[in-house]
Amino acid sequence: MLLHIPDVLDREQVAQLRGALDAADWTDGRETVGAQGAQVKRNEQLPDASPLRRQLGAVVLAALAKNPLYHAAVLPMRTLAPRFNRYRDGGQYGFHVDGAVMALSDDAQLRSDVSCTLFLSAPDEYDGGELIVSDTYGEHEVKLPAGDLIVYPSSSLHRVAPVTRGARVASFFWAQSLIRDDGRRRLLFELDASIQRLVRSGADAAAVLQLTGVYHNLLRQWAET
- For 59-90, the pLDDT digits (tens) are 999 999 999 999 999 999 999 999 999 999 99
CB atoms within 10 A of CB 169: 25
Class of domain 182-222 (CATH, top level): few secondary structures
pLDDT at 173 over 70: yes
- For 115-158, the pLDDT digits (tens) are 999 999 999 999 999 999 999 889 999 999 999 999 999 999 99
- Return the domain boundaries, the chain: 3-177, 182-222
- For 203-215, the pLDDT digits (tens) are 999 999 999 999 9
145/166 Cα distance (integer angstroms): 15
pLDDT of residue 223: 98
pLDDT of residue 61: 98
Element (H, E) at 41: strand 41-42
**Dihedral sign for Cα atoms in the order 30, 33, 37, 38:** positive
Q: Round the average pLDDT of the chain to a whole number and report it.
A: 95
pLDDT of residue 32: 67
pLDDT of residue 34: 60
What's the fold here for domain 3-177? Answer: Jelly Rolls (2.60.120)
